[in-house]
Structure 1
Amino acid sequence: MSDLGGEPDPLADEGLTRRLKALACTAPLHDLEVRKANQPWLEESIRDRYQMAEVALDMIDQVAIAMDFESGARHAQVLSRAERFIARQASDRPSAEHARIAVWVLESLINVRDVDRGFTRKYGWINTEGRYSLKTFDFKILEERSDSRGDLYLRASNEALNVLVGALDTDVESAQIAAEVRLRNLIARGRLADAKAVAEQARLRTIQYGETIRTQLEATERNVAAVDWLNHVPDLLNEALAHVESRQKEEQAIAQSITDDRDKAQDAANKRRAAELVDIVEDCIRRHTALHRRLLGAREKFRQEQDRQLFAPATRRAAVDLHRDLLQPILAETGTAATPPLSVFVEHSAGPTSTDQPGLATLIPALLAPPVQRSRFADEEEEPEPTPAEQEGGFSDEQWRAAHALLDLPDAARRLSHLLQEAALIDPPLPELVALLVLRAFSPQIGPALRHGQDHVLIAVPASTTFAQAGFAGDDLLVTAAQLTPNAAITDEPEQEPGS
């Protein structure tokens, strides 16, 4: 109001309301500083080292830069960059603590504690009659959206962009022009570091302008009648088109000027700052191009949504009156005539029946379960029938003595084929025993023979001929006996070197 006794001033009241809303938008950031003292996982001695409001502003900055018409910032990307920012505040703390702080700040900005994921603040309102009342201001900082594939991404709200760039309820068009004029002035004076900060603010104002248009088009998709397409939106589109066309010309000229300065710069620091400015301005040009394309199709979008929402015929389904359409006609019929329609009605109203099919969680344990042991008292047990043991073949003592007698060759060597032929004449099973003993002699165990006190050992060597005799065939062997002396005893202990 101009004075206490005069007429109320509506403009002053609206200005007060704008400032109160702007102040409310900063409350969630200040609340982070208050609530960090209540976190039991954050040690009291290091709480002051973490500036949560700075972390929140950095997150909003990253989300705003990554925003486009159809997409935004991914959670993992925002958390990864925030962890690096947090690590600069307390580089000696563990990385797990940095990650937990990043998640806590991000969830606080989304406000996962409330169902609607929004913030609510009270502010005072003085109407044109001078009466004071409290109103509720609902707003959001970061919003979760889902794309066509169902993946979640983050978007910064208009309130978040206002808090970030300091454009609290200011005209975006005039702020954008003022920022670019200031940017040109700073570039001309060679103050590239200050020019970079101005260019970043100009880019965020561009994002804010695009977000305003996107919000109107998104509201049109939900309900075309909720958006003023008669006056407000057409004026907004015309202003946006004029803004984009003028800004593209200005930004092209600025980008060309900075590029020339970058190429001519001799100082490495100035060349790097100029290159960063070129990237930022080119990003603004790209965003303005995308905004221009969306603005050109906005009116066609409105007509399509209007046809879809207002002129599409409503689906009508006739309601069924069970008493009039079913019960009364059935009662007038006989039981035989009433059965078919009643069966059809019950079948369709009850729905299809499905048999129980075991799932993997129940089928696999059932297949792997051991068989159930039957109780010994349940049924009469059958008397088991023992299986007769198979008689294994062997050699008698007479056959062993006959085989040793054939292989007693102290001063001579005989062929295996001759021994087998002679053994077959003595006893038909005897050649098998002789062949087994000769095969053992092909690799004689001299050491065990000496330890057991034997005076000779049987030796078999190849005879370079083949044979087929007494059911055996293969390389023929020369068999003889070698005498052993006790002095040649071999022990299992290794030789000791001299002097050990």
Structure 2
Amino acid sequence: MTSPASTASTEFVPPQLSAAPRPALGPAADEGLARRLRALACTAPLHDLDVRKANLAGEYTVYAMAEVALAAIDLVTLNMDFDTGADHDQIIARLLPRVAAQAPRRPAAEHERVARWVLENLINVGSVDRGFRAVYGTFGPDGAYIRRDYDFKLVEEVPGHGGTVYLRTTDEAVNVLVGALDTDVTSAQIAAEVKLEVLINRGRLADAQLAAEQARYRTVQYAETLRRTLEATRRNVRAVDWLNAVPDMIDEALDHIADRYRHENAILTNIRKARDEAETGFDPKTAEHKRRAAELVDIVKDCIRRHTQLQSRLLEAGPLFRAEQDRQAFAAPTSTVGLDLYGQLVAPVLPLPVEKARRVTDAFFAHGTGLRTPVSVRLGDLVDILLTPPAEREHLGAEMPEPDLIATPDDSRFSEEQLASAMELLDLEHDAPRRLSGLLAEARRRDPELPYLVALLSIHAASPPVGTAYRQGEQRLLFAVDDGTELDDPEFGGADLIVGTALLDTVSMAAGRTEAV
């Protein structure tokens, strides 16, 4: 028999409440959760370092590996350039002081081992593709639970010029630094700059320094987006949308840089004002305030430098696209066919017994591996090379055009006669040294313009090039000495120099050089 209460509860339960709850449909309803799951995945390799440090041979529990990893990501991000990355050994050297500060009594070799171990784990050296993978779940349009793979890298090795290998941080690593993931670069940069300006105006320079560093990370991430686009264009111009997406991105980036220039210069002015208006003295708080302001000046200057470099690359993007389009459009198609390893080797060999499969695999690896890959010569290429006549070249090269020479007009202020007259006045080889005032008066009696030339030659003689005169074999040298007497002249002022001529012993000087040799 059923009680009235149970009967009432059964009768008045709405039908929609009795059904099982279902997740919200559509990809937008679950995107926030997926974003947070990817953010956790990017931090997982850093936490895993502290878990796995117990496997190292030795006592390494004193080291905070996640802290060292964040410092390494920071160093790589700030030391990489648009075209190149950060040097591996340089990052290790700059990471050593932070590692040594955690255990100052440990040997330096151990500090270096910890730094290299952390950096190699950020690169994920032990994996095949040197990347990390995380699995998270989302709900599909029909409400079904779907597991997805999230592949990412934190620090990657990229080839450089001359066979060098550089380190570069990825977008995921930069997002780990600034505490966000999949954030729009432009909006994040504007928000960081506005926050930075407000903090500076309020005098909170410690918080402003953190905001400035976040703004710089966003600038690096923006440059990375452009660099990857240009690299993809060099590989295959059809893989990049140069009709709409990339031109819009370049226009927005140029507008963004123009706004940031004005904003950062204003911020730089405010920082310098805050630094200069700080009271002088020995107050520790004031000294810390000025030190923070000085560090902020360096950070904002670095942001301006990176914006300048990004602007030059943006202006070169259009010509690069046209050059790559011409190169790839007229390139000869390749005629080589790649090896289908699975279809031609793995699938036929798997059903065979071991003794038969071993002969196939031994033959394949004997010819497919080794110190030098065998080169196969195509007969058609060899015939073309042998039958193509050599291009005729001129013995002396192409004829050089005759240059059009234009006579340079003589715009000298002083004539040859005036120079000869001035040198005659300054020829004091057989006379005693004279005052500049007397030389100017005598020159004025000869020519009204001549005192300017005499004064010019006398001032030049105040620091005579003795070594040059010796090397050129000069017999005498004009000199001028200031003894503190003031010049009394209606046109010139300054010191009344003592002007004379010194004889040079070039024979003894040459003998001394010979003995030295």
Instruction: Place the TM-score, normalised by the shorter chain, in its bin.
Output: 0.5 to 0.7
CA distance in 2, matches of 1:83, 1:184: 34
| Mapping for residues 317-332 of structure 1, pairs under 5 Å | none
Residues 134 and 150 in structure 2, CA contact (< 8 A), matched pair in contact too: yes
| Mapping for residues 5-154 of structure 1, pairs under 5 Å | 5=22, 8-40=25-57, 42-43=58-59, 47-154=60-167
Cα distance 1:272–1:7, how it changes in 2: closer, same or farther (>3 A)? closer
SS in 2 for 1:26: helix
Cα distance 1:37–1:188, how it changes in 2: closer, same or farther (>3 A)? same
Partner of 1:463: none
Q: Which amino acid aligns with 1:22?
A: A
Residues 13 and 127 in structure 1, CA contact (< 8 A), matched pair in contact too: no
Larger radius of gyration: 1
**Aligned-pair distance for 1:126?**
2.1
CA distance in 1, matches of 2:129, 2:269: 46
**Aligned-pair distance for 1:227?**
1.7
Greater Cα shift, 135-144 or 264-273: 264-273
CA distance in 1, matches of 2:23, 2:69: 44
| Mapping for residues 453-472 of structure 1, pairs under 5 Å | none
Residues 275 and 293 in structure 2, CA contact (< 8 A), matched pair in contact too: yes
Partner of 2:298: 279
Identity of aligned residues (%): 59
**Aligned-pair distance for 1:196?**
0.9
**Aligned-pair distance for 1:16?**
2.3
After superposition, give the CA deviation of every residue in 1:88-118 in whole Å (9 maximum; x if it has no partner): 1111211111111001001100111012111
Partner of 1:490: none
Residues 92 and 112 in structure 2, CA contact (< 8 A), matched pair in contact too: yes
Structure 1 outlier segments of 4+, above 6 Å:
none
Between Structure 1 and Structure 2, how many residues are aligned? 314
CA distance in 2, matches of 1:280, 1:117: 32
Partner of 1:294: 313
SS in 1 for 2:180: coil
TM-score by length of structure 2 reads 0.58
Cα distance 1:97–1:5, how it changes in 2: closer, same or farther (>3 A)? closer
**Aligned-pair distance for 1:253?**
0.9
Partner of 2:244: 231
Q: What is the RMSD computed on CA atoms of the aligned residues? A: 2.1
SS in 1 for 2:161: coil
CA distance in 1, matches of 2:23, 2:165: 54
CA distance in 1, matches of 2:66, 2:247: 38
After superposition, give the CA deviation of every residue in 1:261-297 in whole Å (9 maximum; x if it has no partner): 2233223322221111110000000101111111112
Q: Which amino acid aligns with 1:23?
A: L
CA distance in 1, matches of 2:73, 2:257: 24
Partner of 2:475: none
CA distance in 1, matches of 2:196, 2:95: 28
The counterpart of 2:178, out of the listed 165, 168, 175, is 165
Residues 32 and 53 in structure 1, CA contact (< 8 A), matched pair in contact too: yes
Q: Unaligned regions of 5+ residues in structure 1, if any? A: 318-344, 350-500
Partner of 1:417: none
Q: Which amino acid aligns with 2:107?
A: P
**Aligned-pair distance for 1:48?**
3.1
Cα distance 1:188–1:303, how it changes in 2: closer, same or farther (>3 A)? same
CA distance in 2, matches of 1:313, 1:170: 41
**Aligned-pair distance for 1:7?**
5.7
Residues 34 and 137 in structure 2, CA contact (< 8 A), matched pair in contact too: yes
CA distance in 2, matches of 1:293, 1:100: 40
Partner of 2:229: 216
Cα distance 1:250–1:235, how it changes in 2: closer, same or farther (>3 A)? same
TM-score by length of structure 1 reads 0.60
| Mapping for residues 196-275 of structure 1, pairs under 5 Å | 196-266=209-279, 267-275=286-294
The counterpart of 2:325, out of the listed 306, 312, 320, is 306
**Aligned-pair distance for 1:66?**
0.8
CA distance in 1, matches of 2:240, 2:334: 25
Q: Which amino acid aligns with 2:93?
A: S
**Aligned-pair distance for 1:5?**
4.5
CA distance in 2, matches of 1:7, 1:97: 53
**Aligned-pair distance for 1:18?**
2.0
Q: Unaligned regions of 5+ residues in structure 2, if any? A: 1-19, 280-285, 337-378, 384-517
Residues 42 and 172 in structure 2, CA contact (< 8 A), matched pair in contact too: yes
**Aligned-pair distance for 1:14?**
2.4
SS in 2 for 1:149: helix
Q: Which amino acid aligns with 1:115?
A: V
Q: Which amino acid aligns with 1:123?
A: Y
Cα distance 1:126–1:279, how it changes in 2: closer, same or farther (>3 A)? same
CA distance in 2, matches of 1:35, 1:133: 30
After superposition, give the CA deviation of every residue in 1:445-488 in whole Å (9 maximum; x if it has no partner): xxxxxxxxxxxxxxxxxxxxxxxxxxxxxxxxxxxxxxxxxxxx
Q: Which amino acid aligns with 1:272?
A: R
Partner of 1:476: none
Q: Which amino acid aligns with 1:176?
A: Q
**Aligned-pair distance for 1:316?**
7.1
Cα distance 1:7–1:116, how it changes in 2: closer, same or farther (>3 A)? closer
